[in-house]
Amino acid sequence: MTMMMKKTTLGPSGIECSAIGLGTWAMGGWMWGGGDNAAAVVAIQASLDAGVNLIDTAPAYGLGRSESIVGTALKGRRHEAVIATKCGLVWHTQKGTHFFEEDGHPVYRFLGRESIFHECEESLKRLQTDYIDLYITHWQDSTTPVAETMDALLALKKQGKIRAIGVSNVSPETLAEYLRHGPVDAAQERYSLIDREIEQTLAPLCSEHGVAVLGYSSLALGLLAGPINPGREFKGDDQRATNPRFSSVNRATLKAFFEELEPLRARLGCSFGQLMIAWTIARGTISVALCGARVRQQAIENAGAGAVELGRDALQLIDGAAKHHLGNLA
């Protein structure tokens, strides 16, 4: 059954989508200790059933694995979904700037015109679709003029292969340069209760130009999903194993933070994760809260945050608890 879900639009495109989106980075397995394709497919379908129709993916999430999973999950249901995928992190060429190694493949930041056309075709094949709703430049490329990148994106839009244009991990100055060459529908940036920098930097420019903001890592890689067992270990290449935010000291700090919010959580009848996701939406800085999930239950829980209403008093209580406990979080 579809839950009550807040809706929003993706900037000038007018594309309507859910205010909560499903992030599929972890489904690709890379930097998350591996993955389970079958479970991921079920999680995507459960998200759709629960009212989440924005599915966010990227070629770099498992070198195409995440996009392929999304394509499989949406067979027969493509019309229900708003697909956001990305370009600019490439392994078919060594042009641009070397960024990282993934499964033995050197990955480069590159947003040249012909490379974007190549990436788009590959993504369409993996996603098993003939159009992408929102096409986002994943990371910016200092070796390619923004004018060239934007020209390619506008060409793809004219061809009907993409419906809207987005940018990610971008400075206000670079976003302004994009806007000089055409409409930008969305900017995707990190945003959570403990990652609020864009409130003072990028968000004002987005608001001025009607650019929707998609906030990724709404639960800070799971840190804000609720108290973390002190004995829990993150295995394999899971990035959280070496992330200082997941230290034993910080876990104790977060435990105290959640204890302070327990009465509010109980009164609202939601989980801590839902409370944190609802906060990101209610703050008004972002249009869509992107939340990762790898299994059905996570997807359903995240979607449930779309029905959580936070008034001014609740927001002040959460902000106060964060200031009290999380101000020095590493």
Cα gap 278→260, rounded to integer Å: 17
Give the mean model confidence (pLDDT) for residues 64-92.
98
Residue the block writes with tokens 């639960």: 219
Q: How many CB atoms lie within 10 A of CB 82?
A: 21
Q: What are phi and psi of 239, to 5 degrees?
A: -60, -25
Is it the case that residue 237 has pLDDT exceeding 80?
Answer: no
Please indicate whether residue 216 is annotated as part of the active site: no
CA distance to 26, 88, 111, 306, per residue, from 143 (Å): 29, 12, 8, 40
Distance separating alpha carbons of residues 32 and 11, to the nearest angstrom: 31
Place of tokens 């935010």: 245
- Say whether pLDDT at 172 is over 90: yes
Q: Are 330 and 245 in contact (CB under 8 A)?
A: yes
| Mean pLDDT, the chain, integer | 94
Task: State the DSSP string of 274-296.
Answer: HHHHHHHHHTSS-SEEEEE-SSH
pLDDT of residue 40: 96
The whole-number pLDDT of residue 28 equals 86
Q: What is the pLDDT of residues 25-54, one digit of tens each?
A: 989 877 767 789 999 999 999 999 999 999
- The confidence band for 330, taking pLDDT boundaries of 50, 70 and 90, is low
Distance, in Å, from the CA atom of 63 to the CA atom of 104, rounded to the nearest integer, reads: 11
Please compute Rg for the chain using Cα positions: 19
Percent of the chain with pLDDT over 90: 85
Cα dihedral sign for 221, 21, 297, 225?
positive
Q: What number is the average pLDDT over the span 95-124? A: 97
Residue 260 — very low, low, confident or very high, per pLDDT cuts 50/70/90?
Answer: very high
Q: What is the per-residue burial (b if ≥16 Cβ within 10 Å, else e) of 94-127?
A: ebbeebeebeeeebbbbbbeebbbebbebbbebb
Percent of the chain at pLDDT exceeding 70: 98
Tokens describing residue 241: 């194993």
- Cα–Cα separations (whole angstroms), residue 314 to 282, 308, 319: 10, 11, 9
Would you say residue 1 has pLDDT above 50?
Answer: no
CB 190 within 8 A of CB 205: no
Do residues 5 and 52 lie in contact, with contact meaning Cβ atoms separated by under 8 Å? Answer: yes
* pLDDT value, residue 3: 55
Residue ranges of domains in the chain, CATH in brackets: 7-324 (3.20.20.100)
Catalytic residue among 61, 178, 191, 216: 61
What tens digit of pLDDT does each residue of 181-204 get?
999 999 999 999 999 999 999 999
SS3 of residue 292 by DSSP? strand
Question: Which helix (H) or strand (E) element contains residue 134?
Answer: strand 132-137
